[in-house]
Structure 1
Amino acid sequence: MTSTRARFQGNGEITFEQVTLGDVAEGEVRLRVDVCALCGSDKRLLHSGATVVPGHEIGGTVVGGALPAGTRGIVYIPVFCGTCVRCAAGRTNQCLHLSQLIGWQRDGGFAEHVDVPARCVLPVPDDIPLSVAVLGLDTVGTAAHALRLALRTQDTVDRLLVVGAGPLGLGVVAVARAMGIAVDAVDPNPARLETATALGATPAGDLSAENQYDVVVEVSGADAARATAQRVIRPGGTVVALGESNEPYTMPATPRWRRTDCYTVRSFYFPVDEMAANWDLLRVMGGPLRDLIVRPLTLPELPEAFARFVAGDHVKPCIVSADADVVSEVTR
């Protein structure tokens, strides 16, 4: 079997190579990649280059290996051990022996096929399209897990603020609204803020004043966004730090901050034991979310997809297989 895959050379250059695939390793599964969504974190690999094939929001169909052929699945990116005490408790995102992420330390989904450990394939229910299921990874799964952690710290939440309406921020908006939580949102990109509004958020008002929100979810990683989150949180409130950045996360050395009780929650991905609840969320809001944010493109169009993604023209480009039914599922 031959397969095409993308290589990130650095400085924004993407090339393609044709490879001959060998046998599937024991305990692994070969997937035909039917959909692989672009993520903001992939921009770092686009700039720096990668020794593996990037792409970590993967949905596909089993064509060989340890699961029945034809199984539809999404790929859980942390390669968890499955045996440590955290994995045994279902908290696979907290695996004590985690050393690899699919698309980061081993080959990912910007390819026609990908081999992954069988335990990292999450079978998709028959009633959920793959184009919706793939949003259950970073966009909805990570958002839902972060909100569940935040809600543990609060008796009630009148409103929460989402700072940054990129793909993950929009996932937070959609999940929060599905949970019945009122949401304000802020983003410097008018189109993204408009999308957040379409998902049920209210554009935030003046954010210069302190003590406005019980929960603030900061999703951009920018220093200014972090400062906003720390300013508008109420005493006793919760700042959820979801945004990724190469800059250190710092707390302000001000009298007001020193005199404020506050939770700071850092969340990484989601555990597999939350997947049943996430499927239920996707049944409620996955289709409308997909139709608002997803833009389907094919693997040869990956350089264009990233160019439009970086420019802010596309919210959530997804590379889809011409051999799958995913294209017909997605509103262009």
Structure 2
Amino acid sequence: MTEAITNTSAHFQGSGVVSFTTEQLRDVRPGLARIRVDVCALCGSDKRLLASGAAVVPGHEVVGTVVESAPGAPEAGTRVVVFIPVSCGECKACLEHQNNRCYNLEGLMGWQFDGGFAEYMDVPPQCLIPVPDDIPSDVAVLALDTFGTAAHALRLGARTQPVGIQNLLVIGCGPLGLGVISVALAMGIPSVHAWDPNESRLGLAQKLGATAARDLESINQYQVVAEVSGAEPARATAQNLVEPGGAILALGESNDPYVMPATPRWRRTDCFTVRSFYFPPSEVADNWDLLRSHGARLRDTIMTPTRLGDLEETFTRFLDGDFVKPYITHEEN
């Protein structure tokens, strides 16, 4: 079936250089399914691979269509999103449908296994999640890092609060921060504030329905603070603004260690610090409902379609801030 079909894929050489190869597709390895990539969104974490180079094809926010199925995979023709943790399916966490917590995690799609900056990709069956027919592909891709990660973090944060989350501050209005805002509003959290030093990003947060936070000096202001930038000043701000008994959702990633300051303020404050990774399959159905209510609005606010062949230029514009959440699409406009 695939002998006459070619696959163009992107390769990160390091220092921002992207190259492409076009090769005939080989037969699918036993145990894997093959999908045609319809949409693959760029993620801030991809910037690390862009700088360092990658041994595999990057791209981990993927919506595709199954072209060759496998045991345990959806049938050919099914639209799917790619769940990036390659879990074992046998450990305690996997048996409880918490595959994001797999004890024997083999790696991640787009990081240790070839990802979606390509026309086709081969995927373990357990990593394929069918997309409901009523959700377009350019909205469905938000179900992964942007909505899925945000929703999981907010659910964990809500478990620390006896009355749930009533008052939320989001620090950092990049794609994930804006996702946290959208999900929080979709969940009905009454008070959602946002802050970002970039006024245009803060304006996007306000466009989505958040209130701009202007006082970053007074302590004990917010029940829950989602720190999404990973920057040390933002982490310090979160420590000051959270109420005693509140929670900090540590979502921002950087190469700097996460430090809890040895200050009198920190020593004298009860506080939960919640670190979450991705989302479990058990939350997928609820995440589709969140997308139905707020996904299209977020797409229209932050997403820009581009082409695979323009990936290096797209990343340049992503790094420069011209694009908030670009994605490659193989569909004709």
Displacement of 1:26 in angstroms is 2.0
Q: Which amino acid aligns with 1:9?
A: Q
Where in structure 2 are the equivalents of 1:155-304 lying within 5 Å?
Answer: 155-156=162-163, 157-181=165-189, 182-304=191-313
Provide the C-alpha distance between the structure 2 equivalents of 1:215 and 1:180, rounded to a whole number of angstroms. 15
| Aligned position for 1:86 | 93
* Normalised TM-score (structure 2): 0.96
* Structure 2 residue identity aligned to 1:312: G
- 1:143-175 per-position Cα deviation (integer Å, ceiling 9, x unaligned): 000000000001233321000000000000000
> How far apart are the structure 2 equivalents of 1:158 and 1:69?
44
- The answer on whether the counterparts of 2:88 and 2:106 sit within 8 Å (CA) in structure 1 is no
Matches within 5 A, 1:21-40: 21-40=25-44
2:158 to 146, 151, 163: 151
1:47 corresponds to: 51
- Asked if the contact 1:25/1:65 (under 8 Å) is kept, the reply is no
Deviation by residue 1:190-226 (Cα, 9 ceiling, x = unmatched): 1111111111100102111111100000001000110
Q: Displacement, 1:99?
A: 2.3
3-state SS, counterpart of residue 303 of structure 1: helix
- Give the residue type in structure 2 aligned to 1:295: T
Contact 2:221/2:241 (8 A) holds in 1 = yes
Aligned partner of 1:115 in structure 2 is 122
**Mean CA deviation greater in 181-190 or 262-271:** 181-190
Task: Tell whether the 8 Å contact from 1:26 to 1:65 is kept in structure 2 after alignment.
Answer: no
TM-score normalised to structure 1 length: 0.96
Partners of 2:331 and 2:153 in 1: CA distance? 34
Of the three residues 314, 317, 326, the one matched with 2:323 is: 314
> In the alignment, residue 65 of structure 1 is paired with which amino acid?
S
Structure 1 moving runs of 4+ over 6 Å: none
Q: Which amino acid counterpart does residue 142 of structure 1 have in structure 2? A: T
Match of 1:132? Answer: 139
Measured in 1, the distance between the counterparts of 2:174 and 2:243 equals 24
Amino acid at match of 1:263: F
Q: CA deviation at 1:300?
A: 0.6
Alignment check: 8 A CA contact 1:298 1:322 kept: no
**Local SS of the residue matching 1:279:** helix
How many residues align structurally? 324
1:33-76 Cα deviation digits (max 9, x unpaired): 00000000000000000000000000011111314221100000
2:12 counterpart of 1:8: yes
CA shift, 1:21, in A, is 1.6
* Equivalent position of 1:330 in the other structure: none
What stretches of structure 2 of length at least 5 have no aligned partner? none
Deviation at 1:27, TM superposition (A): 2.2
Equivalent in 7, 18, 23 of residue 19 of structure 1: 23
Letter in 2 for 1:236: G
